[in-house]
Amino acid sequence: MIANIGFGVLVITLVTSLIAVITAVYGVTSKTRAMLETSRLAALSTFPLLSISIAVLIVLLLSGNFEYVYVYQTTSLSMPVYLKIAALWGGQQGSLLFWCWLLSGFTFIVLIRKWKQDRDLLPWVIVVTNITIFFFTLLVLFFENPFLKYYIMYNGEIITSLFQPFHAIAADPTDGSGLNPLLRHFGMVVHPPMLYLGFVGFIIPFAYAIAALIEGRTDDHWLKATRKWSLTAWLFLSLGLVLGSRWAYDVLGWGGYWSWDPVEISAFMPWLTGTAYLHSMVMQDKRGLFKHWNIALIILTFCLVIFGTFLTRSGLFSSVHAFSESELGPAFFIFITVMFIASLGLLLYRWSSLSSGYQIKSFFSRESAFLYNNLLFIAIFAICLLGVIFPILSELFTGQQVTVGPQFYESAAGPLFALLLLLMGIVPLTAWSTSTARNLGKSIWKPALVSLTFPIAALILGAHRWVAVLAIWLAALVICVTLYDYIRSIRLRAASQHESIGKAFITLTSRNRRRYGGYIIHVGVALMGVGIIGIEFFQTQTQSMVKQGETLELSGYTVTYNNLEITDTPDGRNVAEAEMTITRDGRDLKVVYPRIDYYYDSDQAVTVPGLRTTLADDLYIILVDWEPVTSEGATFKVFRNPLMNWFWIGSIVAVLGTLLALWPSRERKSIQKEPA
Amino acid sequence: MKTNIKLLLLIAAFLMTLVSIRPVMAQDTTPAVSDDQVNEVAQDLYCPVCENTPLDVCPTKACTQWRELIREKIALGWSEQQIKQYFAEQYGGQVLAVPPRRGLNWIVYVLPPLVVLGAVFLAVNIVKRSRKPVKSQTEDSSLPSSAAPGTVLDQIEKDLQKEE
């Protein structure tokens, strides 16, 4: 019964979103106020409607109604409550509904906050967002319905159907098959929602850009109105990617955090174009530059968001991130194509009115640096896109299956990432408008000199690969230049205003949050770069079978295999857990417990590493196999991942920087307090 | 006499057994192939069954057997390249971490440098074209054109005023 409510509400949502689109278009073209109001109310109602549907599905998941296909496939009696809730986005059907619900929520917030301010643009924002909601609701209703039930036909065949067929009785399974064990991790609880929030968040600036194009509002309003939306979407997308990396590091047991899997890259591509967009936004905001480019970037980001969702669900790729094969591919393909062509057509139609009067004057100016930054991001994106679609093209045109693995991405995009670091190091000290290499050299030589101490230290400590030493210098350059500029600004402010250093620091940071938030993000990214350099260039590993009491040696560490215990747990796992002591120079450092969890309900195993983590390195131990019956001998794989922790620390710093940039200014607060 | 013949036959059989065992013992004395040697090759090969999973970390039974196959090939003295070639012939090109350099696969090797060249060309062109003087150009007086300390201070103050 309750599921019928969920389904019925979805049907109403489909109709409502269509009404919102039609009445918005009619309201604008006929200038009918009542129609526009109808459109607004219809668009607003999609959020509470979809919330009911989501609530119904959560109730079904929590109450263990295993006669429902989705509940059976994603939950089991032994799963804890938080994982049962997370199962909402753990399967194809639920995650599509969740995606759609988030978009309706974002649209709801925009309409509540901006209806009076942006009366001319918002009807078109409704059109764009509700076309997307309509499309996703259609998919949920007709392709991936989470409210289907199992029925047993008279001949014993088990079928799935929304309504009870003739001569069939409802199946009543006593337990479900449970969530994929790889997804039963805290990272899984937070990683997909963050990613979806990032994906969906970019639809709002896209909708505003399209609205501006349709209305001929080619000024900066759409960009300024959605600046915080864009930054928020970027924050969530970044968080989603980092949390996904952490989940992979903790659960997938390959010793790393990023494997250049096609589905990973499909989430990384909108991040690349979104990051390029955030930078070029600054240029339009400050100099009126890159107007065409910004709209092109947000169109591209939107299409990549849908493309990423499509890749995860099309069955084109097999991946730990991908959902099972489905019929969604053609529908997604048509939607992306139509949206891309329509958006591009609009951009071309308004092309001439988007021209900027301002020009770039020098190869060494800040404007040029932003241009290079954008081109680098787009070049990396193009390489990623090639790597993702080439296996499909190869199979399509030659019938041959090929793999495009990490080596391709690292060798093709690696140098471009290095150039991005170089730009990040230079940009804070570049001047606007006219500038020369000489000016730039004068500004940068002091921090650049200091930054050289890091690669020299690396050389002394034994790093001999020139690429690694260069990468260390670039990361150090970013940190040194950023801190130099920050400290110099504080000192100048303190001297000119006769303030203490502390007060000058607070004044500068709190009053120019965007600039200094950006600085902190750059430092965070450079620290993440340090972690990446550590694992990419200095990772060592060994694997061997050892008997109890025997040891493994790796990079100065000694790992002793003490024993192995195999137990059944109350939550339906068979856990094989080894005890290993890590020592160095005869000193015990830590006892770790690498294990393999075998899940009876889904017949799958998960490798959980034993981890000793410090700022210098991580020792990452995986139980590969063990001798049955006696458990006396077991095979272990040990990785030493130098500097890995800096990747996670850097991501936290970057998040803090983004939050600072997002923090509402006093000016904003005072505007909001003013009577309308 | 019969006993002697039996004894001779037994001794002969024993000697023959010893002779036949010798090659096996000789094999045992060859250095064993370590897991690290196997993984060195396996990390550049992909599981033919589980898409996008490198062979050295794939936990399936099939991959364990394939790793043992690599071990055997190394023991036989095969080079890394020969083993990769063998796997590609047996299970198809998708087991290689990067597409072999032939036919359509050249796109993967040619396109990235072209993308970079295109980006450089675009950057140079945009800046060069932009540097031509334009009368209508608007200057933002709030942004200094040099990074000297005086102008940096101006910049800081103007930024703060703007934010306020």
Cβ of B96 within 8 Å of Cβ of A360? The answer is no
Distance (Å) from the alpha carbon of A367 to chain B's nearest alpha carbon: 9
Asked whether residue B155 carries a pLDDT value surpassing 80, the answer given is no
Mean pLDDT computed over every residue of chain A: 90
Asked whether residue B31 carries a pLDDT value surpassing 90, the answer given is no
Closest alpha carbon to A144 in A109, A100, A84: A100
Instruction: Single out the residue in B97, B114, B145 at which a domain terminates.
Output: B97
Cβ of A492 within 8 Å of Cβ of B54? The answer is no
Tens of pLDDT along A233-268? 999 999 999 999 998 898 877 778 898 988 889 999
Instruction: Single out the residue in B77, B97, B117 at which a domain terminates.
Output: B97
- Residue B133 corresponds to which amino acid? P
What mean pLDDT comes out for the span B45-71? Answer: 86
| Inter-chain contacts counted by CB atoms under 8 A, chains A and B | 183
Percent of chain A at pLDDT exceeding 70: 95
What mean pLDDT comes out for the span A201-214? Answer: 96
Cβ of A545 within 8 Å of Cβ of B92? The answer is no
- State which residue of chain A sits closest to B127, comparing Cα positions: A360
State residue A182's pLDDT score. Answer: 79
- Residues B78 and B122 grouped into a single domain: no
What mean pLDDT comes out for the span B142-149? Answer: 47
ipTM of predicted complex: 0.81
Token duo for residue A583: 């020592």
Find where tokens 């589905």 sit.
A263
C-alpha A319/C-alpha A312 separation (Å) is 9
- State which residue of chain A sits closest to B155, comparing Cα positions: A489
Burial of B64 (0-12, 13-18, 19+ CB in 10 A): middle
Chain A residues with beta carbon closer than 8 angstroms to that of B157: 493, 496
Tens of pLDDT along A383-408? 999 999 999 899 889 888 899 999 99
Packed helices A644-662 and A513-538: angle between N→C axes, nearest 10 degrees:
170
HEC string of A344-401?
A: HHHHHHCHHHHCCCCCCCCCCCHHHHHHHHHHHHHHHHHHHHHHHHHHHHHHHHCCCC
Cβ of B57 within 8 Å of Cβ of A254? The answer is yes
Least confident stretch, A355-364, A371-380, A662-671: A662-671
**Per residue in A457-480, is it b (16+ CB within 10 Å) or e — as a string?**
ebeeeebeeeebbebbbbbbbbbb
Asked whether residue A600 carries a pLDDT value surpassing 90, the answer given is no
State residue A213's pLDDT score. Answer: 95
Least confident stretch, A95-104, A148-157, A553-562: A148-157
- In the beta sheet, which residues pair with residue A633? A547
Count structural domains, chain B: 2
Q: Say which residues have a Cβ less than 8 Å from residue A289's Cβ, sequence separation at least 6.
A: A280, A283, A356, A358, A360, A367, A370
- State which residue of chain A sits closest to B99, comparing Cα positions: A402
- Residues B85 and B116 grouped into a single domain: no
Chain A residues with beta carbon closer than 8 angstroms to that of B118: 379
Asked whether residue A673 carries a pLDDT value surpassing 70, the answer given is no
Residue B65 lies in a domain: yes
- In the beta sheet, which residues pair with residue A583? A558, A588
Residue B1 lies in a domain: no
Instruction: Give how far Cα A536 sits from Cα of A453, A529, B147, Å.
Output: 21, 10, 36
Packed helices A453-460 and A466-497: angle between N→C axes, nearest 10 degrees:
140
State residue A188's pLDDT score. Answer: 75
Tens of pLDDT along B79-107? 999 999 999 999 888 899 889 888 999 99
The parent domain of residue B119 ranges over 100-129
Packed helices A203-215 and A291-314: angle between N→C axes, nearest 10 degrees:
130
- Residue A146 corresponds to which amino acid? P
The DSSP call for residue B100 is -
Instruction: Give how far Cα A616 sits from Cα of A535, A581, A619, Å.
Output: 11, 19, 10
Token duo for residue A74: 């994603």
What mean pLDDT comes out for the span A45-62? Answer: 96
Do the Cβ atoms of A122 and A115 come closer than 8 Å? yes
Q: Which of B156, B158, B160, B164 to mutate to test the interface with A (most CBs of A within 10 A)?
A: B156
Least confident stretch, A237-246, B33-42, B140-149: B140-149
**pTM of the predicted structure, to 2 decimals:** 0.88
What confidence tier does B72 reach under pLDDT thresholds 50, 70, 90?
very high
Least confident stretch, A134-143, A463-472, B129-138: B129-138
Least confident stretch, A470-484, A608-622, B148-162: B148-162
C-alpha B52/C-alpha B45 separation (Å) is 10
State residue B84's pLDDT score. Answer: 93
Which of B36, B94, B143 is the closest to A286 by Cβ? B143
Asked whether residue A324 carries a pLDDT value surpassing 70, the answer given is no
Do the Cβ atoms of A160 and A149 come closer than 8 Å? yes
- Residues B43 and B92 grouped into a single domain: yes
Read off the CATH number of the domain in which B81 is found: 1.10.8.640
Chain A residues with beta carbon closer than 8 angstroms to that of B146: 431, 434-435, 439
Q: What residues 110-139 of chain B have any CB closer than 8 A to a CB of chain A?
A: 111-112, 115-116, 118-119, 122-123, 126-127, 130-132, 134, 136-139
Residue B34 lies in a domain: yes
Sign of CA dihedral B95, B98, B102, B107: positive
Separation of first and last alpha carbons in chain B: 120
- Residues B57 and B124 grouped into a single domain: no
* Long-range contact pairs involving A247-252 (C-beta distance under 8 Å, separation at least 24): A247/A185, A247/A187, A247/A188, A247/A191, A250/A185, A250/A187, A250/A608, A250/A609, A251/A182, A251/A185, A251/A187, A251/A606, A251/A607, A251/A608, A252/A182, A252/A320, A252/A607
Q: What residues 95-114 of chain B have any CB closer than 8 A to a CB of chain A?
A: 95-99, 103-105, 107-108, 111-112
Do the Cβ atoms of A359 and A254 come closer than 8 Å? no
State residue A201's pLDDT score. Answer: 95
The DSSP call for residue A118 is T
What mean pLDDT comes out for the span A19-33? Answer: 95
C-alpha A274/C-alpha A199 separation (Å) is 10
Burial of A113 (0-12, 13-18, 19+ CB in 10 A): exposed
CB atoms within 10 A of CB A153: 13
State residue A218's pLDDT score. Answer: 82
* H/E segment holding residue A557: strand A557-568
Cβ of A255 within 8 Å of Cβ of B57? The answer is yes
- Residues B55 and B77 grouped into a single domain: yes
State residue B14's pLDDT score. Answer: 52
What mean pLDDT comes out for the span A604-620? Answer: 92
Cβ of B145 within 8 Å of Cβ of A492? The answer is no
State residue B62's pLDDT score. Answer: 87
DSSP of A327-343: SHHHHHHHHHHHHHHHH
State residue B118's pLDDT score. Answer: 94
C-alpha A609/C-alpha A569 separation (Å) is 18
Mean pLDDT computed over every residue of chain B: 75
- Residues B59 and B87 grouped into a single domain: yes
- Residues B68 and B50 grouped into a single domain: yes
Which of B64, B112, B160 is the closest to A512 by Cβ? B160
Do the Cβ atoms of A9 and A49 come closer than 8 Å? yes
Token duo for residue A279: 């930078």
The backbone region for A468, taken as left when phi is positive above 0, alpha when psi lies in -120 to 50, beta otherwise, is alpha
- Residues B56 and B123 grouped into a single domain: no
C-alpha A92/C-alpha A148 separation (Å) is 13
Asked whether residue B143 carries a pLDDT value surpassing 90, the answer given is no
Widest distance between CA atoms in chain B: 125
Token duo for residue A379: 């070049």
Residue B57 lies in a domain: yes
- Residue A660 corresponds to which amino acid? L
What confidence tier does B133 reach under pLDDT thresholds 50, 70, 90?
low
State residue B132's pLDDT score. Answer: 61
* H/E segment holding residue A598: strand A595-599
Residue B140 lies in a domain: no
- Residues B45 and B72 grouped into a single domain: yes
State residue A666's pLDDT score. Answer: 62
Token duo for residue A7: 């389904």
Instruction: Give how far Cα A311 sits from Cα of A274, A336, B123, Å.
Output: 18, 12, 32
- Residue A65 corresponds to which amino acid? N
Q: Which of A283, A356, A395, A400 to mutate to test the interface with B (most CBs of B within 10 A)?
A: A400
What mean pLDDT comes out for the span A657-666? Answer: 87
State residue A672's pLDDT score. Answer: 47
DSSP of A271-317: HHHHHHHHHHHHHHHHH---HHHHHHHHHHHHHHHHHHHHHHHHSSS
Q: Phi and psi (nearest 5°) for A207?
A: -60, -40
Sign of CA dihedral A236, A241, A245, A248: positive
CB atoms within 10 A of CB A538: 18
Residue B13 lies in a domain: no
Chain A residues with beta carbon closer than 8 angstroms to that of B160: 507-508, 511-512
State residue B137's pLDDT score. Answer: 44
Cβ of B127 within 8 Å of Cβ of A371? The answer is yes
Closest alpha carbon to A301 in A399, A216, A234: A234
State residue A185's pLDDT score. Answer: 78
- State which residue of chain B sits closest to A253, comparing Cα positions: B57
Burial of A31 (0-12, 13-18, 19+ CB in 10 A): exposed
Separation of first and last alpha carbons in chain A: 46
Side-chain-side CA neighbours of residue B47 (13 Å): 19
State residue A612's pLDDT score. Answer: 95
| Overall size of chain A counted in residues | 676
What confidence tier does A534 reach under pLDDT thresholds 50, 70, 90?
very high
- Residues B47 and B58 grouped into a single domain: yes
Burial of A519 (0-12, 13-18, 19+ CB in 10 A): buried
C-alpha A195/C-alpha A99 separation (Å) is 10
What mean pLDDT comes out for the span A273-288? Answer: 90
Angle among Cα A261, A267, A272 to the nearest 5 degrees reads 110
What mean pLDDT comes out for the span A370-388? Answer: 95
Asked whether residue B144 carries a pLDDT value surpassing 50, the answer given is no
Q: What residues 41-60 of chain B have any CB closer than 8 A to a CB of chain A?
A: 44, 46, 50-52, 54, 57, 59
Asked whether residue A440 carries a pLDDT value surpassing 70, the answer given is yes
Percent of chain A at pLDDT exceeding 90: 64
Residue B145 lies in a domain: no
Instruction: Single out the residue in B97, B121, B144 at which a domain terminates.
Output: B97
Closest alpha carbon to A595 in A607, A585, A584, A586: A607
Do the Cβ atoms of A221 and A270 come closer than 8 Å? no
Residue B91 lies in a domain: yes
* Long-range contact pairs involving A404-410 (C-beta distance under 8 Å, separation at least 24): A404/B98, A404/B99, A404/B108, A405/A260, A405/B46, A405/B54, A405/B97, A405/B98, A406/A259, A406/A260, A406/B97, A407/B44, A407/B97, A407/B98, A408/A260, A408/B98, A408/B108, A409/A260, A409/A265, A409/A383, A409/A384, A410/A260, A410/A536
